[in-house]
Amino acid sequence: MTQQTLAEALTLTDDGAGGFTTRLDGGFSNAPQSAPQERGAPFGGLMAALAAGAMRQGLGVETPLQTLTIQYLAAARFEEARFTPVLNRGGRNVAYASVVGGQPDRPAIQAMGTYGRDVAGPVLTPLTASPTPVDTLEPTPLDPAFGPWFTRHIDYRFVAGPRLFGDNAGRTPELGCWMRTTDAAPLDEARLLFLLDGLYPTYFTALPAPPVISASVDLRADLLTEITPDLSPEGWAYFHFTSRDVGGGWAVEDGVAHAPEGRPIALVRQRRKLMPSRGPTS
């Protein structure tokens, strides 16, 4: 079967019954490229982008997305999926919506969106960054033996290298990276949500190999400005991720996305459930 482009993967079709459908393609699997696509599930950033797209497309909401909160209930299958949006409360200044997505017998995600218009008011942007310019950095694709299938749709340029497997041991578990989708389209709402989940857990930089695998349980993205084509015409954004806590079988990680000139445009917090590791067998 022909692999989908990102634009195709983000396309939702009105089913005429209050829902929207799309085919979830194995090219967006979170399994490593060294394994069959079916060993994984559709990447969480794609599911977040589809959830937001279904709410915007199905409910006619035109004001900027302020917050998307998504819970990952189960792994969706690589087949047709349906997303059903609901407008929980509309308003001139703030609207609240929700969506459930997955297969009929297997709900995969449930999400809530908060939408609201921007107005004039105080401005305070303490998270402004001055990263190394993207055009001075070499492309740094992830090793196919480690990088998931979906990463083939992302251009990566690490500011100080990928720092994998203990390079940050004894230091703050953080990572800076420029990312854009490989179609080089202007950054938009869907692509930003896709990229906010586009990198491996930051705790990988502080712990030795082999990596402690985890599954996303929930993700919250706060968009700090309306995402318009002139924000990043070439699609680049700079991301800085930090592990806040790892323990008890859980990990909490924060990230900030910046426009090319350094202005913060989104925050993300993700909770992950660490998978049990298998000890040596006798």
Boundaries of domain holding 249: 6-118+127-274
pLDDT range class, residue 110, cuts 50, 70, 90 = very high
In a domain, 153, yes or no: yes
In a domain, 146, yes or no: yes
- AA identity, residue 134: V
Confidence check: pLDDT of 279 > 80: no
In a domain, 48, yes or no: yes
pLDDT range class, residue 276, cuts 50, 70, 90 = confident
In a domain, 257, yes or no: yes
Residues 33-85: tens digit of each pLDDT: 999 999 999 999 999 999 999 999 999 899 999 999 999 999 999 999 999 99
Confidence check: pLDDT of 1 > 80: no
In a domain, 281, yes or no: no
In a domain, 13, yes or no: yes
In the chain, how many domains are there? 1
Domain holding 83: CATH number?
2.40.160.210
Please answer whether residues 275 and 235 qualify as being in contact, where contact means their C-beta atoms are separated by less than 8 angstroms.
no
In a domain, 22, yes or no: yes
Residues 181-196: tens digit of each pLDDT: 999 999 999 999 999 9
pTM of the model: 0.95
Q: What is the pLDDT of residue 105?
A: 93
In a domain, 29, yes or no: yes
